[in-house]
Amino acid sequence: MREHNLLSPHRVEQGTVNPHDGRITTDAPNEMWAADGVKVETAVDGWVWVFWLIEHWNTECMGWHVTKRGNRFAALEPITMVIEKIFGGTGPDIARGLQLRIDHGSQYKSDDFINQIRYWGITPNMGFVREPETNGVVERFNRTFKEQVIHGRVFRGVEDLRESVEKFIRDYNKSWLLEKLNFKSPLEARYEWEEKEQRINNSGMLAEGEGVTATSLGQRRSGGGKHISPHAQELIHRVPSVKGATATSLDATILTGANC
């Protein structure tokens, strides 16, 4: 039947094939993040959720949250943590210019989730239905997590899983070598980016003969705000040699996971 093309047309996919030859990675940090969650079965606590936030630029896991209830509020936890760390708060439009790549899971399509990220100035950017390639950065991270932590192991409960997630993310950010980063780890790529930004801005200071003001350090790429994060303020006062660094490089703090 198949050889003679006599199968029912309803048994095959309709429409044209999408080659997925676009690009969803970025050339700089804090342009697009990805949020997703996975379910893990435990012996005592049953199904447990793990949510995280991934940087599209270097695939760094910037924040994470392990919880029994995987609702829309739990999905917001790692995003809230990272925004507060990088931008120094969670006020309106504080992260304007960012995009958040998400799938069509019920947590991410809920009004509470969408309204909250829009309050921060983040633009939701959804992948296509039944095309996981369009959310490939975080999906590849999910696969690595399952292969390295979940498969072949039985977890007793939430705390047991939380300890394993914390160790994996710490080791992944520090030591996992990625081909797209020229076989560097996510943190190595971030360190090199910060050093490059610092050298460029220090060269600009020497050429102009004067430093930049604190206001320019807090300037957002979107051209809107004058916010200076606490991390940037600390570097301004503590290390005179980095007064010429940009807000992007100063605000690129190394984030670890948090649990609630």
pLDDT tens sequence across 47-59: 999 999 999 999 9
Contact 173, 60 (CB under 8 A): yes
What's the rounded mean pLDDT across residues 89-113? 96
Domains in the chain (CATH in brackets) are: 32-176 (3.30.420.10), 186-250 (no CATH)
Q: In this predicted model, what pLDDT tens digit does every residue of 112-166 receive, in sequence order?
A: 999 999 999 999 999 988 888 889 999 999 999 999 999 999 999 999 999 999 9
Q: Is the pLDDT of residue 44 over 90?
A: yes
> What pLDDT, in 10s, does the model give residues 74-95?
999 999 999 999 999 999 999 9
* pLDDT interval class at 67 (50, 70, 90): very high
**Res 38 pLDDT > 60:** yes
pTM of the full predicted structure? 0.72
Rounded distance, CA 185 to CA 181, Å? 7
DSSP string, 89-120: S--TTTTTT-EEEE-S-HHHHSHHHHHHHHHT
The Cα 252–Cα 232 span in angstroms is 9
The confidence score (pLDDT) of residue 136 equals: 92
- Is a pLDDT exceeding 80 seen at residue 208? no
Q: Give tens-digit pLDDT for 16-32.
A: 777 767 788 999 999 99
